[in-house]
Amino acid sequence: QLRRMKWWHEAKFGMFIHFGLYSQHARHEWAMEDEAIPIPEYQKLAPVFNPAPGSQRQWAKLAKAAGMKYMVMTTKHHEGFCNFDTKLTNYNAVKQGPKRDLVREYVDAARAEGLRVGFYYSLMDWHHPDGAKCATDEAARRRFVDYTHGLIRELLTNYGKIDVLWYDVSWPLKADGWESEKMNKMVFSLQPDIIVNNRNGLLGDFSTPEQHITAEKGGRAWESCMTLNDSWGFQRADDNWKSSKTIVRNLITCAHDGGNYLLNIGPQPDGGIPPETIRVLSEVGRWMDTNGHT
């Protein structure tokens, strides 16, 4: 086992956070695509997106109370909106919406609770003009790959030590199109101790079974990610919450089979945590206080 991954294997339990303009929209993080919302229309969510300062502190406190040891927040989901400050696009939370760096606030909050810090990053991008074109147009691919590597470079340069990079959805390119080998080389040169997942088309350090718990063969590291209801982003109409009993059982299954459990929350547009999420995670925390080991 890799020395880099020691803390992660010991951690076992982490909090996934899906937060962005889709939270403001309050339907589904895929709504832009599923409901074919045109970019000019969707962008109108940005000026009204204004989560309360200190929200991330509440997420981090809840994670800590639930017995989680690390967090992974969406820095940019498929919608393309950057929750962080960047020189590469104005479609970001400092220029539009809250006018604050939500990733900075998240990093500070996680560290304040002694939790490890992970960044989710979607390669697929529905907002960037080259995000789809890059598959059929070499000039577009060049621009978009430079943009992608550039954003990742900023994320891994501007926030101190980052513990996990969680790539997602590599459509419409493959590893060679994304220049993923070069991407990971850059990532490790900026953050020698970071752990990366397998969703940029390479094996990475761990696999990511989603919404199910299936151990990897041959001692390969894995982390099962799961929603608490049926959506990753905040969805007003979704009240199909899992019980704390189910969550504890899932955590036990993961731990027993040698994997990690990354459990998602979808904060409300104001940054608040849905009451049912607080209730379930607090119950999990009470079980962990009695039965978990630190």
Which of 19, 24, 29, 261 contacts ligand JFZ by CB under 6 A?
29
ω into 172 cis (within 30 of 0):
yes
Amino acid at 103: V
Compute the least distance from the CB of residue 209 to ligand JFZ, in Å.
8
Compute the least distance from the CB of residue 151 to ligand JFZ, in Å.
17
What mask, x for binding ligand JFZ by CB under 6 A, covers residues 179 to 218?
-------------------------------x--------
Amino acid at 22: Y
The residue to which tokens 């151990």 are assigned: 215
Compute the least distance from the CB of residue 231 to ligand JFZ, in Å.
9
Cβ count near 186 (within 10 Å): 15
Residues 6+ apart with CB under 8 A from 99: 93
Which of 101, 105, 130, 168 contacts ligand JFZ by CB under 6 A?
168
Binders of ligand JFZ among residues 224 to 253 (CB under 6 A) are 225, 232
Helix or strand run (H / E) with residue 15? strand 13-17
Q: Which is nearer to ligand JFZ, 247 or 288 (CB)?
A: 247
* Token reading at 286: 């009470």
Q: Which is nearer to ligand JFZ, 151 or 288 (CB)?
A: 151
Q: Which is nearer to ligand JFZ, 209 or 292 (CB)?
A: 209
Q: Which is nearer to ligand JFZ, 29 or 105 (CB)?
A: 29
**280 vs 253: CA distance, rounded Å:** 18
Rule CB under 6 A: say whether 93 interacts with ligand JFZ: no
Compute the least distance from the CB of residue 31 to ligand JFZ, in Å.
11
**Of 165, 76, 157, 74, residue with least CA distance to 116:** 165
* Token reading at 272: 């608040």
Site size toward ligand JFZ (CB under 6 A) is 7
Q: Which is nearer to ligand JFZ, 168 or 238 (CB)?
A: 168
Compute the least distance from the CB of residue 123 to ligand JFZ, in Å.
11
**80 vs 219: CA distance, rounded Å:** 35
**71 vs 86: CA distance, rounded Å:** 22
* DSSP code of residue 215: P
* Token reading at 205: 């350090």
Compute the least distance from the CB of residue 57 to ligand JFZ, in Å.
23
- Which residue has the closest beta carbon to ligand JFZ? 232
Enumerate binding residues for ligand JFZ (CB under 6 A).
29-30, 168-169, 210, 225, 232
